[in-house]
Amino acid sequence: MRKNIVAGNWKMNTTVPEGVALAKEVNQCLEGFKANCEVIICVPFTHLVPVCAVIDQQKLGLGAENCADHKSGAYTGEVSAPMVESTGATYVILGHSERRQYYGETAETLREKVALALASNLQPIFCIGEVLEEREKGTHFDVVRKQIIDGLFNLSAEDFGKVILAYEPVWAIGTGKTATADQAEEMHAFIRQCVADRYGKEVAENTSILYGGSCKPSNAAELFAKPDVDGGLIGGASLKAADFIGIVKAF
Ligand code: 13P
């Protein structure tokens, strides 16, 4: 059966000492109880090595927030999937709306990134989601289906089985405006059906689909209670250990 997962996305926040302190705090909180879900933190590249050294990855998984669309070579400033793997991280967020929007990531580059991540034993947390205008026009289902098809459906069923999906309506990210639990469930069920149409029911039932967008301790339980919402990808609220753990405890 699929896993429930709460993953933090720190984005471009915290210095290395601040990040190490936060990771230590989260790790310490998790030592005190048995979480009913997998817990992951995705941190800036600079933080991966020092954070890896202070967490117990049996309890707290570690991921990057991106990786390059090439394996190695003359790509100044980029960080490859093998480099991320060599830090000890085992997850990578790919296709976040901020990367699509501000850094021009296309389905084509994302397919490369997914393939390279999988080749380096990194589990992709692949983000999809519509902007406000698309939801208002009523095209949100088509938009999300296209993002999944174009970004992922070239994969074999075996490789697709390693991917975690994250539905993040762009209008809910960092805005304080959460999708209602019903809106999230409606889209998550749709996404699972898209996966079933391509890979069959068993693969679809085993795919974890996380919700992201202004998820906080106060709304997490209602969202996670929905049958097709398998956890959350948490931005702002992952920067405070108490809030993040509050969301973990919503399971
Ligand atoms: P917020 O939780 O800050 O809205 O961010 C969500 C997100 O983008 C996680 O990837």
CA torsion 246→239→226→177, rounded to 10°? 120
Distance 5 CA to ligand 1 centre (A): 15
- Residue appearing with tokens 């996966």: 195
Measured from the CB, is residue 174 less than 6 Å from ligand 1? yes
- Residues 43-57 have pLDDT tens digits of 999 999 999 999 999
Residue-level pLDDT at 161: 98
Q: Where do the structural domains in the chain lie, given as residue ranges?
A: 5-248
Q: Is 238 in the pocket of ligand 1 (CB under 6 A)?
A: no
For the CA of 238, the nearest atom of ligand 1: 2
| pLDDT higher than threshold 90 for residue 189 | yes
Q: CA 187 to CA 245: how far, in whole Å?
A: 26
Residue 242 confidence (pLDDT): 98
Atom of ligand 1 nearest to the CA of 11: 10
CA of 74 to the centre of ligand 1 (A): 32
Model pLDDT, residue 204: 98
- How many other C-beta atoms lie within 10 A of the C-beta of residue 57? 13
Centroid of ligand 1 to alpha carbon of 97 (angstroms): 10
Task: Assign 97 to helix, strand or coil.
Answer: helix
Active-site residue list: 96, 168
Q: Is 101 in the pocket of ligand 1 (CB under 6 A)?
A: no
Ligand 1 pocket member 8 (CB < 6 A) = no
One-letter identity of residue 187: M
CA 134 – ligand 1 centroid, Å: 19
Q: 129-174 pLDDT, tens per residue? A: 999 999 999 999 999 999 999 999 999 999 999 999 999 999 999 8
Confidence of residue 32 (pLDDT cuts 50, 70, 90): confident
Q: How far apart are CA 23 and CA 186, in angstroms?
A: 33
Ligand 1 site, residue 110, Cβ cutoff 6 A: no
The class (CATH top level) of 5-248 is: alpha beta
